[in-house]
A = this chain, B = another copy of it.
Amino acid sequence: MKKCCDTAKNDVTDNKVSEHLHKHEAALRLLKTARGQMNAVIKMIENDRYCVDISTQLLAAVSLLKKANTSIINKHMETCVRAAIEDGNVDEKLEELKQIMIYIEKAL
C-alpha cells in the first residue's frame, strides 16, 4: 500500500492529533457529509420516498464528491508533487497526473 509523501512528516510530529489538521481535512469533511447524504438516499429508497426527491439528494452527494476530489488533487500538487520536484523526481508524478486526468474525464 503506497503511502502519502506527507506520512513521514506526520510521524515525527507528536501525537496530539487534535492540534494539527490533516492535509486532506477539507476533503474529509466533504466526504463525511456526502456519506451522510448517501445513507439518507439509501434510506429514502427503502422507505419508498419519491424518486425525484431521491435523485435530488443523490445529485447533491455527487457535487460534494467532485469538490472533494478537486481538494485531494490540489493538496497532492501542493505536497507530493512539489516534494517530488524538489527531489528531482518528476517523471512519475507527471505520469500519474496525466492518468488521473483521464479518469476525471471519464468519471466527471
Contacts and interface: CB of A to CB of B under 8 A. Distances in A.
Contacts of A79: 51
The quantity of this chain's copies bound in the complex is 4
Given A28-B42, A62-B107, 7 more contacts: A3-B50, A10-B48, A31-B41, A55-B100, A59-B103, A70-B105, A82-B90
A108 B52 CA distance: 16
A20 interface: no
A58 B49 contact: no
Interface string A3-40: 11011001000000000001010011001101100110
Given A55-B72, A77-B94, A1 B31 contact: no
Contact of A76 (B41, B42, B52): B52
Given A38-B35, A62-B62, A73 B50 contact: no
A65 to B, nearest CB: 5
Return the 3 tightest CB-CB contacts between A and B, nearest first.
A51-B76, A59-B107, A108-B108
Contacts of A24: 45, 51, 54
